């Protein structure tokens, strides 16, 4: 089977990438602390693997659930855009301590501080966060990988502080106001995501989907009237005398020729009652203007969506490249992309005028959703891969230089290898989270999937600009719930364990990390 062959392929790809990286890394670190390096590599790849299974799967759940992409197609898009985001815009250096959550300065400044303790902190955080993500993924719970790694670092840091200076000093290492912002994000993120998708999808449904449904019903009614007309015509013809049938058949033949040759025929141009009524029905069909919403509104929605995605890429996805472009230049780029997308979708919508309305709607929104999914994937790869590569890069830098630096360089070899692990995780364990986000929280259509991704991107962009504490995972789940509210089909019973998982993510990762740290410190 194809899936079995792909499983073997990804297993061999991951094993080969890990082996080559281990060979490269041993040389990079000068073969110092070989066991620590190999363990750290294993923990880091395990973390990247689980990010792929949970966070990347969460990002592509709406596309797969809507039927826009198959799991294999989602894998290809993720492989290209997630890894490209990580390699192109993932940053040459990364923070050794995530987001200033803990302050190890007081401990690292002490003469008796052992640099190995710092390595144990990062290794424990990676392992604990990865284990918790695996548990959540197997249950189908989309959780925040950022909160997981933060919890891991907090837990192992407190464990070190407790061993070195007592619990009072240990708790003072944590910036609890930062933990408070994380708690706020548990509520703020899904609420903003849900509100954004509700507003966007409400208007898309009102002006496009509902219009199309009414037009489809009218077209079906006309189709039925044409069938009835044919039956009635057949019955009338059978009642005619032979001479009447001959005369009427001649009239039908002349009307048929007129119908083919006269583009704007009038009703008076036809001789038979059949073609006169058929002409009236065709005029009614034109008056319905079934594809009006697709031609008028969908290109505008696509252009607006492209502006949001492009802005997110410029201000968030590519921020590590330090392009130094002005707001005016960025604004012009956004407008150019929007204009190009509007023209492309407008032309595509016009080419669909002769096709099925339902299929045309599905096709147009599918193309639009692939665009938003790709942009979201690039931005995700450029940012959230740091949850695995950040702590690992810190470990690698210490093994290479023997010192703890505020910023740690990220070798390209590490980015590529962790990118492979990311995609392998999506393939092997991502199906449960995809099913949860894409089908079980609410039913999805390319229009609603596009809306969820666009709303999530909008909220991420606005929140980042305003400095609001949000989680992209929680935002996207909230956006899916917003779709369900509009359709009145939200699975609230499934949301209860997911919300509980959000709350316990940080403390669960912290407890696991603290235990791992104490074990490593005792054994290694």
Q: Which residues pair with 384 in a beta bridge?
A: none
User: In this structure, is residue 378 part of a structural domain?
Assistant: no
Given this model, what pLDDT does residue 203 score? 93
User: In this structure, is residue 516 part of a structural domain?
Assistant: yes
Judgement on whether residues 84 and 174 belong to the same structural domain of the protein: yes
Choose one of 287, 302, 321: the last residue of a domain.
287
Contacts of 295 (CB under 8 A, 6+ apart): 346, 349, 350, 353
User: In this structure, is residue 425 part of a structural domain?
Assistant: yes
Given this model, what pLDDT does residue 451 score? 93
The whole domain housing 230 covers: 220-287
- Tell me which residue of 136, 48, 63 sits closest to 376, measured CA to CA: 63
Judgement on whether residues 177 and 234 belong to the same structural domain of the protein: no
- Give the CA-trace dihedral at 226, 232, 238, 242, to 10 degrees: -70
User: In this structure, is residue 199 part of a structural domain?
Assistant: no
Judgement on whether residues 120 and 163 belong to the same structural domain of the protein: yes
d(CA 108, CA 166): 15
- Tell me which residue of 437, 436, 482, 434 sits closest to 455, measured CA to CA: 482
User: In this structure, is residue 349 part of a structural domain?
Assistant: no
d(CA 47, CA 392): 10
What's the number of domains the chain is made of? 2
Judgement on whether residues 124 and 71 belong to the same structural domain of the protein: yes
Judgement on whether residues 167 and 246 belong to the same structural domain of the protein: no
Given this model, what pLDDT does residue 320 score? 66
Judgement on whether residues 231 and 125 belong to the same structural domain of the protein: no
Judgement on whether residues 415 and 516 belong to the same structural domain of the protein: yes
Given this model, what pLDDT does residue 109 score? 59
Choose one of 287, 311, 344: the last residue of a domain.
287
- Residues across the chain: 524
CA geometry: angle 9, 10, 13, nearest 5 deg:
85
DSSP line for 181-232:
HHHHHHHHHHHHHHHHHHHHHHHHIIIIIHHHHHHHHHHHHHHHHHHHHHHH
d(CA 47, CA 137): 12
Choose one of 257, 287, 317: the last residue of a domain.
287
Please identify which residue in the block is written with the tokens 């990865």.
130
Query: Which tokens go with 192?
Result: 């903003």
d(CA 273, CA 252): 9
Judgement on whether residues 2 and 120 belong to the same structural domain of the protein: yes
Judgement on whether residues 37 and 92 belong to the same structural domain of the protein: yes
Given this model, what pLDDT does residue 262 score? 44
Judgement on whether residues 145 and 234 belong to the same structural domain of the protein: no
Given this model, what pLDDT does residue 106 score? 61
Contact 480, 437 (CB under 8 A): yes
Judgement on whether residues 174 and 269 belong to the same structural domain of the protein: no
Per-position pLDDT tens, the chain of length 524: 667 788 899 999 999 999 999 999 999 998 888 999 999 999 999 999 999 899 888 878 888 888 888 878 887 887 788 777 777 766 655 555 545 667 666 666 555 567 888 899 999 999 999 999 999 999 999 999 989 998 999 999 899 888 877 777 778 778 788 788 888 888 888 999 999 999 999 999 999 999 988 888 888 888 888 888 788 777 777 777 777 777 767 777 776 766 654 445 666 667 777 777 777 777 777 777 878 889 999 999 999 999 988 888 888 767 666 777 888 998 999 999 999 999 999 999 988 887 788 888 888 999 898 888 888 777 777 767 778 888 898 899 899 888 877 777 788 888 889 988 988 998 899 888 988 888 889 988 899 999 998 998 888 888 877 777 678 889 999 999 999 999 988 899 999 999 999 999 999 999 999 999 999 999 88
Given this model, what pLDDT does residue 91 score? 60
User: In this structure, is residue 33 part of a structural domain?
Assistant: yes
Contacts of 469 (CB under 8 A, 6+ apart): 181, 182, 184, 185, 188, 463
Half-sphere exposure of 438 (CA within 13 A, CB side): 25
Judgement on whether residues 177 and 232 belong to the same structural domain of the protein: no
Query: Which tokens go with 414?
Result: 């590490």
User: In this structure, is residue 114 part of a structural domain?
Assistant: yes
Contacts of 262 (CB under 8 A, 6+ apart): 269
């Amino acid at each position: 089977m194809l899936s079995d062959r792909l499983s073997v392929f990804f297993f061999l790809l991951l094993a080969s990438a890990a082996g080559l990286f281990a060979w490269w890394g041993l040389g990079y670190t000068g073969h110092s602390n070989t066991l620590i390096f190999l363990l750290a590599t294993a923990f880091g790849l395990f973390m990247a693997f689980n990010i792929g299974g949970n966070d990347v799967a969460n990002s592509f759940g709406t596309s797969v659930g809507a039927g826009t992409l198959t799991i294999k197609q989602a894998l290809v898009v993720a492989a290209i855009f997630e890894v490209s985001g990580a390699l192109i815009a993932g940053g040459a250096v990364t923070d050794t301590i995530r987001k200033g959550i803990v302050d190890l300065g007081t401990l690292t400044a002490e003469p008796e501080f052992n640099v190995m303790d710092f390595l144990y902190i990062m290794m424990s955080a990676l392992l604990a966060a990865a284990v918790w993500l695996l548990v959540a993924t197997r249950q189908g719970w989309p959780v925040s990988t950022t909160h997981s790694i933060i919890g891991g670092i907090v837990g192992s840091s407190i464990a070190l502080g407790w061993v070195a200076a007592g619990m009072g000093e240990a708790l003072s290492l944590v910036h609890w106001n930062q933990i408070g912002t994380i708690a706020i994000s548990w509520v703020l993120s899904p609420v903003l995501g849900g509100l954004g998708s509700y507003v966007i999808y409400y208007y898309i449904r009102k002006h496009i989907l509902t219009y199309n449904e009414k037009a489809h019903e009218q077209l079906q009614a006309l189709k039925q009237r044409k069938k009835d007309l044919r039956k009635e015509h057949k019955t009338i013809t059978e009642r005619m005398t032979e001479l009447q049938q001959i005369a009427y058949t001649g009239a039908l033949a002349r009307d048929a020729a007129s119908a083919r040759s006269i583009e704007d025929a009038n009703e008076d141009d036809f001789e038979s009652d059949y073609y006169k009524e058929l002409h009236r029905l065709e005029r009614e069909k034109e008056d319905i203007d079934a594809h009006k919403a697709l031609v008028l509104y969908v290109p505008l929605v696509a252009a607006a969506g492209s502006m949001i995605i492009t802005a997110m890429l410029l201000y968030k996805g590519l921020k590590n490249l330090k392009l130094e472009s002005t707001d005016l230049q960025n604004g012009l780029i956004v407008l150019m992309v929007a204009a190009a997308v509007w023209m492309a979708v407008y032309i595509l919508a016009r080419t669909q005028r002769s096709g099925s309305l339902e299929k045309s709607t599905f096709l147009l929104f599918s193309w639009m959703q692939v665009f938003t999914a790709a942009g979201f994937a690039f931005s995700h790869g450029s940012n959230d891969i740091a949850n695995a590569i950040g702590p690992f890069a810190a470990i690698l830098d210490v093994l290479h230089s023997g010192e703890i630096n505020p910023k740690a360089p990220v070798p390209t070899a590490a980015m590529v290898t962790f990118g492979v692990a990311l995609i392998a995780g999506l393939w092997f364990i991502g199906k449960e989270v995809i099913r949860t986000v894409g089908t079980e929280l609410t039913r999805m259509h390319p229009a609603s999937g596009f809306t969820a991704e666009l709303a999530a991107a909008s909220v991420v962009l606005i929140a980042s600009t305003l400095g609001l504490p949000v989680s992209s995972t929680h935002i996207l789940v909230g956006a899916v719930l917003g779709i369900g509210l509009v359709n009145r089909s939200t699975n609230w019973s499934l949301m209860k364990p997911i919300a509980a998982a959000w709350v316990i993510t940080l403390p669960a990762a912290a407890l696991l990390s603290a235990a791992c740290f104490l074990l490593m410190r005792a054994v290694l």
